[in-house]
Amino acid sequence: MRHIQTPSDWLFNWRCVPYCFRCLVLNDADVSVPRWKREWLDPTAEFCSVHHTVLETVPASVFRLSGHFAAALRAISRYREKRVFKDRRWLR
């Protein structure tokens, strides 16, 4: 159980939750099933250990407002699209 349980030191009130989008949607074990990696819950994590990229963040409210993981994934995608649009608008 210790291997799947989140360490108590990592539990606090997150404003933003870190993740790697590529790892989230491309599960090595089963490509048809998204997954949330335990290492993203480490408060000191900054980079994806697989892709060596900076972890993205999403507001924790996305998960509070989503009834299940599939809804959270849709909300994360919408959040990412808004961010990309907002970033492109600033470039003009």
Q: What is the dihedral of CA 43, 88, 73, 10, to 10 degrees?
A: 0
Q: Does the residue 8 lie in any domain?
A: no
Q: Does the residue 51 lie in any domain?
A: yes
Q: Does the residue 6 lie in any domain?
A: no
Q: What pLDDT score does 2 carry?
A: 64
Split into its structural domains, the chain has a count of 1
Per-position pLDDT tens, the chain of length 92: 566 666 676 666 678 889 999 988 887 777 777 788 888 888 888 999 999 999 999 998 888 888 888 898 999 999 888 877 665 554 44
Q: What pLDDT score does 1 carry?
A: 58
Q: Does the residue 3 lie in any domain?
A: no
pTM: 0.71
In 3D, which of 61, 62, 56, 60 has the Cα closest to residue 75?
62
Query: Could you tell me the residue range of the domain that residue 60 belongs to?
Result: 15-91
Only one residue has tokens 């089963």, namely 30
Q: Does the residue 76 lie in any domain?
A: yes
Q: Report whether 50 contacts 20 (CB < 8 A).
A: yes
